[in-house]
Every structure is written in structure tokens, then in C-alpha cells.
Structure 1
Amino acid sequence: MKIGLIGFGKTGKSVASILLENKKFCLEWVLRQSTVLEHRSVPEFFGIQSEEPGLIYSSSKTTMEELLDKHPVDVIIDFSSNEGIYTYGELAASRNIKIISAISHYKDKELQLLKKLAHKTTVFWSPNITLGVNYLLFAAKFLKKIAPWVDIEVNEEHFKMKQGTSGTAVKIAEALDIDKENINSVRAGGIVGKHEVIFGFPYQTVRLIHESISREAFGNGVVFVAENLEHKQKGLYNFEDILSPYFAV
């Protein structure tokens, strides 16, 4: 499966390293805003031997159409920004390229665009693409269903420079019917990401905790999603769509 990766920040680099390790995938190219590393390769950047091209391009010098003409791919993985979808979405959909977006904070305008693109190709979106946090979300929803009257608190911790409330925490709050204004946020040091759901029962407490130890966890999530999307028809999918069959009795 040929992969194009958009975004090469800290998380993008970690995802790229996981993709290079997996023989089911071939990292064809990376597109980033910066011209630093232009026309070098991802394997070279990591100092490893690899037959995968993984060429690095700058969006200021190469258009998406030129890139896809030279290096066609089966899937585009987006770890860039809210605006990234506008640079490749329509073109990818017209070429039936699958889209995996891991952007945390889409607004309604971007979500509507994803729905539109899903009429033409397979689109996946999750504000947190790690497997563990989505397991937590499943467990939390089941527990809330068993005891809808329980007291619930949602806490999230991230690195000091992260702005806004965690998109994952917002998704958890929405799933549990909690006002997102009541999410407790902590910003300190280099915390990668921690989410906690506290269920306050009379005389007892249940805590569900997910903590990202390394950003490579996002890469593992991408691999899982890409493998499960391979034979999916066009449409808009989320983690619940992918995980639900595994929970079928």
C-alpha cells in the first residue's frame, strides 16, 4: 500500500518512522510547509537503510497535483493542520485516494468537507488515532450505559505549548454527554498526552486512564486504521466503525 504523509512535525516524524518499519506499506513521499530537507528522503533523515523513496517535498515549491502525478499513492495520511484538507482533499477524492485525517480540531466547515469527500472516496477522521485512547472511549461508553446516573469527570494533560482543549477529551465528553466546559485541562512540561475518565459511584471510584508514552503510538494507530480501511467502500468512517466488528458476539 503506497502512502503519502502530510505534515512532518514531531508527530509526523514518529508516524513516518513506524510506516518505514512496516513492510505492508511503502512511504512514497512526505509533504510539509518548510523547505528544510527539501528533496531529501525520510530514511536518510533517520539514518536508516530502506528501499522506500520517502522523498520530502515542500508545499511552497511543489503542488499536490504535481506530486500525485509523479508519485501516485493509495492513501494520504494527514498530520498537518486544519487547513491541510483544502490542499489535497478534492484532488485525492477525484483520484479515489483514501484519506486518513488525524487532525484534532476541525471546525464544522472542515467536517462538512470531509462528508462531501466521502461521497467519492474512503475517508477516516479521528481527533486521536491511538488505539489505546479509543479502547478507553469504548469502555467509558459501556460503563455509562450500565450506570447512566454515575458522576463523571474528564481530565486531560498535555505538553505545555499545546493550545486549546484536547480534541480527544472533547470527543470523550460528547460521547458521555458531558459539557466540554467541564473538562479539566493541565499543561505542563513535555507530557505527550494523558486522558482520564473518573466514574464516581457511591462508596467507590472507577478510573479509566490512557497515557501516550511516545508519539510512535500515533503511528501504530495509523497502521491499524489503514489495514482496516483497505477494503472499505467510500464513506466517512471513525474509530467506532472500525472497532465495532471486533466487539460483535
Structure 2
Amino acid sequence: MKIGLFGFGKAGKAVASVILQNKDHSLEWIYRKTNRLNSRDASDFFGIESEDPGHFYSEKKLSVEELLEEHPVDAIIDFSSQEGIYTYGESAAQKKIKIISAISHYSDKEVSFLHKLAQKATVFWSPNITLGINYLLYAAQFLKKIAPSVDIEIVEEHFKDKKGVSGTAIRIADILDVKDEKINTIRAGGIVGKHEVIFGFPFQTVRLIHESISRDAFGNGALFAAEHLVNKKPGFYKFEDLLHPYFKV
């Protein structure tokens, strides 16, 4: 699968590195606002031997429309920003390019826009695209069904500079139908990301914990999504849509 990447922050860099080392997929390009890396490619940047083009392109020198026309891809993986979808969404959907968004926070406006794009293209969104956290979400829902009146607390830990409440924690709260004040936030040092769901029963507790040891987990999750979207028809998909077949007994 030919892949284009939007976003080259900490998570975007990890995703690019994972794709470059995967022989089944090709990182065609990385699109950025700045043109500082335009003379290099991703394999050179990381020091990874790869046959992937992995070229850097800047919006200052090449429009999205020109990029998608001159350097076609099968899928776009987005680790940019909340507003990034407006940069490429319409053009990608028009060309039936699969859109894989890993943006942690979207307003209702962006979610509505994603659904609009899904009328033409295959659109996937996961606030946390790691496979492990999405398994936790599934397991937490089953436990809540067994004990609907159980006490629930959510703890999320991230690196010191992360702003706002974790989108994943908010997602957990929504799925389990608990109020946002049940989310406990910790910011310290260089923690990559940790989420814990505590189920308080009389005389016992159950804790479901997921911890990202490396941001490479985002890359593995993004490729898992890409591979499971290959034969999907246009529409809006979440991670649970991809996991559901595995939970059928």
C-alpha cells in the first residue's frame, strides 16, 4: 500500500519510521507546512535503509491538489492537527484515497466533516490508534455490561507538555457512560501515555491498564487500520469496527 503522511511531530516521526521498516507498505511522502526538510527524504532523516521514496513536501511549494495528482497514494495517515483534515480532506475523498485520522481531539464540526467525506471515501478515525488501547476499550465495555452499577474511575498519564484532557480518556468515559469528572489527569516528565480504568466492586477491584512504551505503537496501529480498510467500502469507520470480527464467538 502506498501511504502519504500528514504530521511530523513526535508521533508522526514514529509512524514514519515504522512504515519505512515495513516491507509490505511504502511511505511515499510526508507533507509539512515548513520547507526545511525539502532537500531530504525520510530514510535519510532517520538513517534507515529503505527503498520507499519518503520525500518531504511543503505546502509553501506544492499544493495538496498537485501533491495527490503528481504523487498518488492509496491512503493518507494523519497525525497533524485538528484543522489538518480541511487541508486535504476534500481532495483525498474526491480521489477515493483512504483517510486514516489519528487526531486525539476533534470538535463536532470536524466529526461532521469526516462523515461528509465518508460519503465518497473510506474514512477512519481513532483518537488513540494503538491496538492495545482499543482492546482495553472493548474489554471495559464487556465488564460494564456484566456489572452496570460498578464504580468506575479513569486515570490518564502523559508527558508534561501535553495540553488538555486525553482524547482517549474522554472516549473511555463516553463508552462507559461515566461523567468527565471521573477522569483523573497526571502530567509528568516524558510519560508517553498510560490509561487505567478502575472498576470498584464490593470487596474487590478490577484494573485494566494500557501503557504506550514507545510511540512506535502508533505506527503499528495505523498500519493495522490501513490493512483492515483495504477492502472496505466508502463509509465512516472506528477501531471497534475493525476489531468486532475478532470478538465473535
Q: Identify the TM-score tier after normalising by the shorter chain.
A: over 0.9
**Alignment-mate amino acid for residue 91 of structure 2:** L
CA deviations 1:30-62 (Å, max 9, x no partner) are 011222211310001011221110001122222
List runs of 5+ in structure 1 lacking aligned partners. Answer: none
Q: Which residue of structure 1 aligns with residue 100 of structure 2?
A: 100
Partner Cα distance (1:151, 1:131) in 2:
26
1:53-72 alignment, distance < 5 Å: 53-72=53-72
State yes or no: 1:190 paired with 2:204.
no
User: What's the TM-score once normalised by structure 2's chain length?
Assistant: 0.99
Amino acid at match of 1:232: K
Paired with 2:156 and 2:133, the residues of 1 have a C-alpha distance of: 12
SS in structure 2 at match of 1:89: helix
Structure 1 length-normalised TM: 0.99
- Equivalent pair of 1:28/1:55 in contact (CA under 8 Å): yes
Structure 1 runs (4+) deviating above 6 angstroms are: none
Counterpart in 2 of 1:47? 47
Alpha-carbon distance in structure 2 between the residues aligned to 1:103 and 1:45: 24
1:131 maps to a residue whose letter is L
- Paired with 2:181 and 2:92, the residues of 1 have a C-alpha distance of 36
Aligned length: 249
1:39–1:57: 8 Å Cα contact kept in structure 2? no
Query: What per-residue deviation string (whole Å, max 9, x for no partner) do you get for residues 96-149 of structure 1?
Result: 000000000100000000000000000000000000000111010000000001
State the one-letter code of the partner of 2:239. F
Match of 2:243? 243
Q: Mean alpha-carbon deviation: is it higher for 123-132 or for 57-66?
A: 57-66
- CA-based RMSD: 0.7
- Note if contact 1:154-1:169 (Cα within 8 Å) is conserved in structure 2: yes
> 1:160, 1:190 within 8 Å by CA — same for their partners in 2?
yes
Amino acid at match of 2:41: S
SS at match of 2:197: strand
Unaligned runs of 5+ in 2: none
Query: Which amino acid is the alignment partner of residue 119 of structure 2?
Result: H
* In 2: Cα distance, 1:63 partner to 1:39 partner: 17
1:156 aligns with 2:139: no
Q: Residue 152 of structure 2 contacts residue 182 of structure 2 at CA under 8 Å; is this kept in 1? A: no
Q: Which residue of structure 2 lines up, in the alignment, with residue 21 of structure 1?
A: 21
